[in-house]
């Protein structure tokens, strides 16, 4: 039989990953990170790989091997506090995947009620409070474009945020969403 396509496509490509500690320095000394990994903090961070991509989204963790996925565009242009808190959030997922073998994307739960997400958000919110962010700023940090208002309210309640939806969030024509990955 004659081949239909007259091209060759190499399909076994290597995904390029880099050491986490080459790009994210000092995280081994962050109290919030030490709370996540305990005595294994340095070991986990030294072994953690990060993949920078032109992906849609912001940050995530590979469900296959637990390496960190980061949008190069978000890393370059995102708010530095949001990026920092997202790293804390994603490091919780690294622990869940690599150290605990948990399924990160359990479809039995909605996103904002998924136990792995609640745990990750809790760590990020605790760190935001430790940094002195206002409850309104934390609310804006949590807000993503893929969450409905009702889902956002459920997440805010689960995080015990002590603020109502910020005024600019209540006016649809001026609503700004915080963009980050989860």
Kindly report, residue by residue over 141-171, the tens digit of the pLDDT. 999 888 999 999 999 999 999 876 655 555 4
Q: Each residue of 120-157: b (16+ CB within 10 Å) or e?
A: bbebbbebbeeeebebbbbbbbbbbeebeeeebbbbbe
Residue 16's nearest CA partner among 56, 42, 73, 54 is: 54
Establish if 148 belongs to a structural domain: yes
- Does the residue 157 lie in any domain? yes
State how many domains the chain has: 1
Pairing of strands 18-19, 68-71: unpaired
Residue that has been written with the tokens 């073998």 in this structure: 101
Supply the mean pLDDT for the chain.
89
Asked, for residue 117, whether it belongs to a domain, the answer is: yes
- Residue 4 falls within a domain, yes or no? no
Residue 11 lies in a domain: no
Query: What's the confidence (pLDDT) of residue 179?
Result: 38
Residue 10 lies in a domain: no
Q: What is the pLDDT of residues 50-99, one digit of tens each?
A: 999 987 789 999 988 999 999 999 999 999 999 999 999 999 999 999 99
Give the count of alpha carbons within 13 A of 106, CB side only: 16
**pTM, whole model, 2 decimals?**
0.85
12 inside domain? no
CA distance 59 to 89: 9
**Which two structure tokens, joined as six digits, stand for 125?**
């919110």
Residue 9 gets the label, from left (phi > 0), alpha (psi -120 to 50) or beta, of beta
Q: Which residue has the higher pLDDT, 13 or 86?
A: 86
Q: What residues make up the domain containing 159?
A: 18-174
**The pair of three-digit structure tokens given for residue 176, joined into one six-digit string:** 């700004």
Q: Do the domain assignments include residue 51?
A: yes
- Quick one: pLDDT band at residue 118, thresholds 50, 70, 90? very high
């Amino acid at each position: 039989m004659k081949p239909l396509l007259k091209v060759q496509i190499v399909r076994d490509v290597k995904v390029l990953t880099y050491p986490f500690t080459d790009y994210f320095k000092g995280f081994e000394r962050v109290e919030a990170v030490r709370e996540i990994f305990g005595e294994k903090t340095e070991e986990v961070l030294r072994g953690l790989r990060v993949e920078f991509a032109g992906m849609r989204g912001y940050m995530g963790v590979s469900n296959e091997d637990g390496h960190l996925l980061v949008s190069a565009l978000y890393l370059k242009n995102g708010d530095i506090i949001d990026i920092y808190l997202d790293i804390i959030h994603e490091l919780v997922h690294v622990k869940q995947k690599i150290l605990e073998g948990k399924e990160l994307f359990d479809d039995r739960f909605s996103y904002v009620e998924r136990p792995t997400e609640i745990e990750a958000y809790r760590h990020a919110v605790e760190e935001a409070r430790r940094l002195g962010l206002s409850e309104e700023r934390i609310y804006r940090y949590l807000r993503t474009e893929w969450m409905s208002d009702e889902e956002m309210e459920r997440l805010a309640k689960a995080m015990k945020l002590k603020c109502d939806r910020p005024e600019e969030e209540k006016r649809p024509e001026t609503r700004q969403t915080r963009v980050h990955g989860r």
